[in-house]
A and B are shown apart, each in its own frame.
Chain A
Amino acid sequence: MEKQRLKTGSLSRRDFLKVSGITLTVPLVVGPRVLKVAGAEVKVFGPGKVPMTFTINGKTYRAELEPRVTLLDALRNEFDLTGAKRVCDRGTCGACTVLLDGKPVYACSVLAIEAQGKAITTVEGLMQDGKLHPIQQAFIENDALQCGFCTPGFVVACKALLDRIPNPTPEDLVVGLGGNLCRCGTYVGIRAAIAQAARMQRGG
Chain B
Amino acid sequence: MAERNAMEMAEYKWPEPERRRLIGKRISRVDGPEKVTGRAKYTYDVNRPGMLAGKVLRCPHAHARIVRLDTSAAEKMPGVKAVLPLKKVGDEILWAGDEVVAVAAVDEPTAEDAIRAIVVEYEKLPHFVLDTDPKAAGERVRPTAEQVEGDPDAAFREAEVVVEGLYGASLITHCCLEAHGAVVEWEGENNVLVHVSTQAVSGIAGQMAGPLGVPAGNIRVKQDHIGGGFGSKFGPDSWGIAAAQLSKMAGGRPVKIMLERDAELMVAGARPSYYGRVRVGAKRDGTVIAWESETWGTGGIPPTSPLPLPYVLRIPNQRKRHVAIVTNSGPARAWRAPLHPQACLLTMAALDDLAAALRMDPLDLLLKNIELAGERADVYREELQIAAELMEWKKRWHPRGDPSPGPVKRGLGVSIHTWPGRGHACRCDLTIHPDGSVEVKLGSQDLGTGTRTAIAIVVADTLGIPLEAVRVRIGDNQYPPAGGSGGSTTIGGVSSAARRAALDALDQLFARIAPLLNASPDQLEAWEGRIRVKEDPSRSIAWEQACARLDGMPLTVRGENPGPGELTTAGAAGVQMADVSVDIETGIVRINKMVAVQDCGLIINMKTAESQCYGAMIMGISYALYEEKIMDPATGRMLNPNMEFYKLAGLADIGELVVHMMTGEKYDRRGVIGLGEPPVISPGAAISNAVANAIGVRVPFLPLTPERVLEALAKKGGSHARV
Instruction: State the A residues within 8 Å of B (CB).
Output: 1, 22, 66, 68-69, 73, 76-77, 80-90, 92-93, 95, 122-124, 126-127, 132, 136, 139-141, 143, 145-152, 155, 173-174, 177-178, 180-191
In the complex, A167 Cα to B685 Cα: how many Å?
37
**Which residues of the partner chain B approach A82 to less than 8 Å between Cβ atoms?**
38, 41-42, 44-45, 47
Contacts of B31 in A (CB 8 A): 148
Query: Are B45 and A151 in contact, with the CB atoms below 8 A?
Result: no
A184→B38 contact, CB < 8 A: no
A188 CA to B615 CA in the complex, in Å? 8
User: Within 8 Å CB of A84, what residues of B?
Assistant: 38
Tell whether A22 pairs with B651 under 8 Å between CB atoms, given A90-B642, A146-B449: no
B residues within 8 A CB of A141? 28
B607 contacts which of A66, A143, A187 (Cβ < 8 Å)? A143
User: Contacts of B339 on A, CB cut-off 8 Å?
Assistant: none
* Contact A149-B109, Cβ < 8 Å, known A92-B642, A184-B615: no
Interface segment out of the listed B221-229, B378-386, B709-717: B221-229
Contact of A178 among B226, B608, B644, B650 (CB under 8 A): B650
The minimal Cβ–Cβ distance linking A85 to chain B, given in whole angstroms, is: 7
Interface residues of B in 666-717 (CB under 8 A from A): none
* A86 and B35 form a contact (CB under 8 A): no
Q: Is A185 a contact of B37 with CB atoms below 8 Å? A: no
**Within the complex, which residue of B32, B35, B617, B651 is in contact with A191, where a contact is CB–CB below 8 Å?**
B651
For A181, the chain B residues whose CB sits under 8 A away are 177, 643, 648, 650
Report Cα–Cα, A172/B346, bound state, in Å.
Answer: 38
Instruction: Using known A-B contacts A89-B260, A149-B178, determine if residue A187 contacts B651 with beta carbons closer than 8 Å.
Output: yes
Measured between beta carbons, the chain A residues less than 8 angstroms from B657 are 188
With a CB–CB cut-off of 8 A, which chain A residues contact B227? 85, 147-149
Residues in A neighbouring B33, C-beta threshold 8 A: 132, 136, 140
Partner of B177, one of A90, A93, A124, A174: A93
Interchain CB contact under 8 A, B652 and A147:
no
Closest to B446 in A: A147
The contact sample of 12 A-B pairs, CB cut-off 8 A, is A77-B107, A82-B44, A85-B227, A86-B258, A123-B36, A146-B611, A147-B225, A148-B225, A148-B227, A152-B36, A184-B228, A188-B618
* Residues of chain B with a CB closer than 8 A to A149's CB: 42, 177-178, 227-228
CB distance from B336 to the nearest CB of A (A): 11
Q: Inside 8 A of B607's CB, which chain A residues have their CB?
A: 143
Complex Cα distance, B610 from A186, in Å, reads: 11
Could you say which residues of chain A place their CB within 8 Å of the CB of B47? 76-77, 80, 82
Since A87-B178, A149-B227 are in contact, a sample of 15 more A-B pairs with Cβ atoms closer than 8 Å, ordered by chain A residue number, is A77-B107, A82-B42, A84-B38, A85-B227, A139-B32, A139-B36, A140-B28, A146-B611, A148-B36, A150-B177, A180-B650, A185-B618, A186-B614, A188-B614, A189-B614
Q: Are A151 and B616 in contact (CB under 8 A)?
A: no
* Chain A residues with CB under 8 A of B652: 174, 178
CB neighbours (8 Å) of A191 from chain B are 651
Q: CB-CB < 8 A to A174: which residues of B? A: 651-652
Min C-beta distance of A47 to chain B, whole Å: 11
Q: Is there a chain A Cβ closer than 8 Å to B589's Cβ?
A: no
Which residues of B have CB within 8 Å of A148?
31, 34-36, 40, 225, 227, 448
Cβ–Cβ < 8 Å partners of B36 in chain A: 123, 132, 136, 139-140, 145, 148, 151-152, 155
Q: Verify if B654 is at the interface (C-beta below 8 Å from A).
A: yes
Q: Is B49 an interface residue (CB 8 A)?
A: yes
CB distance from B448 to the nearest CB of A (A): 3
The yes or no answer to B176 lying at the interface (CB within 8 A) is yes
B592 CB to closest chain A CB (Å) equals: 14
Note all chain A residues with C-beta closer than 8 A to B721: none
Please give me the residue from chain B that is nearest to A136 by CB atom.
Answer: B36
- Whether the Cβ atoms of B35 and A88 lie closer than 8 Å is no
Cα–Cα, bound, A132→B657 (Å) = 28
Q: What is the distance, in angstroms, from B526's C-beta to the closest C-beta of chain A?
A: 28
Checking A66, A124, A189 against B611 with a beta-carbon cut-off of 8 angstroms, the contacting residue is A189
Q: Min CB distance, B246 to chain A, in Å?
A: 18
Q: Are the C-beta atoms of A86 and B44 separated by less than 8 Å? A: yes
Cα–Cα, bound, A59→B247 (Å): 35
Q: How far is the CA of A150 from the CA of B228 in the complex (A)?
A: 10
User: In the complex, how many angstroms separate the beta carbon of A135 from the nearest chain B beta carbon?
Assistant: 8
Whether, in the assembled complex, B619 has its beta carbon less than 8 Å from a beta carbon of chain A, the answer is yes
In the complex, are the beta carbons of B654 and A136 less than 8 A apart? no
Chain B residues near A173: list those with CB within 8 A: 651
Cβ contact within 8 Å between A183 and B228: yes
Residues of B within 8 A of A68 (CB): 109
Chain A residue nearest to B28 in the complex (CB) = A140
A95 to B643, CA, bound (A): 12
Residues of chain B in range 75-133 having any CB-CB distance to chain A below 8 Å: 78, 107-109
Is B500 engaged at the interface, CB distance under 8 Å to the other chain?
no
Q: Chain B 248-268 against A: per-residue CB contact (8 Å), 1 yes, 0 no? A: 000000000010110000000
Residues of A within 8 A of B35 (CB): 145, 148, 151
Most A CB contacts (10 A, CB to CB) among B42, B45, B608 go to B45
User: Among residues 27 to 72 in chain B, which have CB atoms less than 8 Å away from a CB atom of chain A?
Assistant: 28-29, 31-42, 44-45, 47, 49
Q: Are A122 and B38 in contact (CB under 8 A)?
A: yes
B447 proximity list for chain A (CB < 8 A): 146-147
Closest residue of A by beta carbon distance from B622: A185
B37: A residues at CB distance < 8 A: 83, 123-124, 126-127, 132, 136
A199 to B243, CA, bound (A): 48
Shortest beta-carbon distance, B441 to chain A, in Å?
22
- Nearest 3 interchain pairs by C-beta: A83-B38, A185-B618, A147-B448
- List B contacts of A136 (CB < 8 A): 33, 36-37
Interface status of B270 (Cβ within 8 A of chain A): no
